[in-house]
Amino acid sequence: MSNILSGAALDSAITQSLERLRSHFGAQAPEVAVVLGSGWAGAAAQLADAQSLSYAELSAFPQPKVEGHVAEIAVGRIGSQRVAMLRGRAHTYESNDCTGMAGAIRALKAWGVKVLVLTNASGSLRRDLPPGSLMLITDHINAPQRSPLVGVPGSDRFTDMSCAYDVELRQTALSVAQREQKLLGEGVYVWALGPQFETPAEIRMFAAWGADAVGMSTVPETILARHAGLRVMGMALMTNMAAGMQEEAITHEHTLHQAAASGAAAAEFLAQVLAQMGTLESLKN
């Protein structure tokens, strides 16, 4: 049974969280917020003059129960860019409710955040993107066909998803990768509900659909962010080859181990991209 807030209770929680964010971090919001997925936690160490706040003090924010996720938000600077980093997310497989990040995302939007960067750990469907590789998400496939906007009133629930992942932000990441001579793939991410890993037959189907990486997060957050009017960039860290593409069994412990092994490089690259975002005129208005 889900205990995720909705309706008037969610609105009240967003108001409380907004007031707490402003009182703790200041009325001026960071332009960019980042959701740190498995393997990306080290990015928070890149923040200068960082302050943190537990999700426990933010009633609209989730309480993650997945190993590797810390329930806090940290705010600081990377270069000239002020950034909020969310160290933990809600997954649909925890509650069977895909609206778990709705309160957090709407509170960030109300605070004044303009961009949401979503990171995750994924299984690769491409031999040229082995474990340790990074992939910039160009589009996604919502395999469960679940939406966090079901039941939301108003005509804006019919959100345009034709360009869900912002072109300028993607070009910014690609320019940093070229400058740093860093391999950065591009591709389509498919959301699988989980928590079980996919079967080899499902992976073959996803590949036929045009997917390049598979994971259990990100898509509901992208939908929520686009509905809220936030610009979105997504980046996947490959932690394993998808089912049927390798001999060894896939386990959560293995993905966490690979995420930890590759996380430092991923976090450093993310910091470089965030610093470059600080030069974008579109984020200064």
In the structure encoding, which two tokens stand for residue 32, read together? 């960019």
Question: Does 285 reside within a domain?
Answer: no
- Mean pLDDT, residues 262-277 taken together: 92
Closest CA to 123 of 219, 212, 229: 212
Closest CA to 84 of 18, 177, 149: 18
Q: What is the pLDDT of residue 44?
A: 93
Closest CA to 114 of 26, 226, 271, 279: 226
What pLDDT digit, counting tens, does each position of 41-54 carry? Answer: 899 999 999 999 99
Question: Does 56 reside within a domain?
Answer: yes
Q: Mutual orientation of helices 102-111 and 219-228 as an angle, nearest 10°? A: 40
Q: What is the pLDDT of residue 60?
A: 95
pLDDT at residue 86 above 90? yes
pTM above 0.85, yes or no: yes
From CA 13, how far away is CA 62, in angstroms rounded? 11
Query: Is the sign of the CA dihedral 23, 285, 82, 185 positive or negative?
Result: positive
What band does 1 get if pLDDT is binned at 50, 70 and 90? very low
In the structure encoding, which two tokens stand for residue 270, read together? 């993310």
Under 8 Å CB-to-CB from 216, ≥6 apart: which residues?
Answer: 91, 92, 93, 191, 192, 193, 194, 195
**DSSP H or E stretch at residue 176:** helix 167-179
- Residue 110 in contact with residue 211, Cβ under 8 Å? no
**DSSP H or E stretch at residue 121:** strand 115-124
So which residues are the catalytic ones? 38, 69, 91, 93-94, 121, 216-217, 240, 252
In percent, how much of the chain has pLDDT > 70? 92
Question: Does 57 reside within a domain?
Answer: yes
Question: Does 182 reside within a domain?
Answer: yes
Question: Does 22 reside within a domain?
Answer: yes
- Residue 85 in contact with residue 74, Cβ under 8 Å? yes
Question: Does 237 reside within a domain?
Answer: yes
- Mean pLDDT, residues 109-126 taken together: 97
Question: Does 49 reside within a domain?
Answer: yes
What domain range includes position 95? Answer: 7-280
Helix, strand, or coil here: 155?
A: helix
**DSSP H or E stretch at residue 209:** helix 200-209
Residue 145 CB neighbour total at 10 angstroms: 7
What pLDDT digit, counting tens, does each position of 121-175 carry? Answer: 999 999 999 999 999 999 999 999 999 999 999 999 999 999 999 999 999 999 9
- 74-108 burial, b for 16+ CB within 10 Å, e for fewer? bbbbbbebbbbbbbbbbbbebbebbbbbbbbbbbb
pLDDT at residue 8 above 70? yes
In the structure encoding, which two tokens stand for residue 214, read together? 């598979």
Residue type, 25: F
Structural domains counted in the chain: 1
Question: Does 2 reside within a domain?
Answer: no
Provide the CATH number for the domain around residue 244. 3.40.50.1580
Please provide the average confidence, as pLDDT, over all residues in the chain: 92
**Termini Cα distance of the chain:** 43
Q: Are strands 115-124 and 32-35 parallel, antiparallel or unpaired?
A: parallel
- Mean pLDDT, residues 227-254 taken together: 86
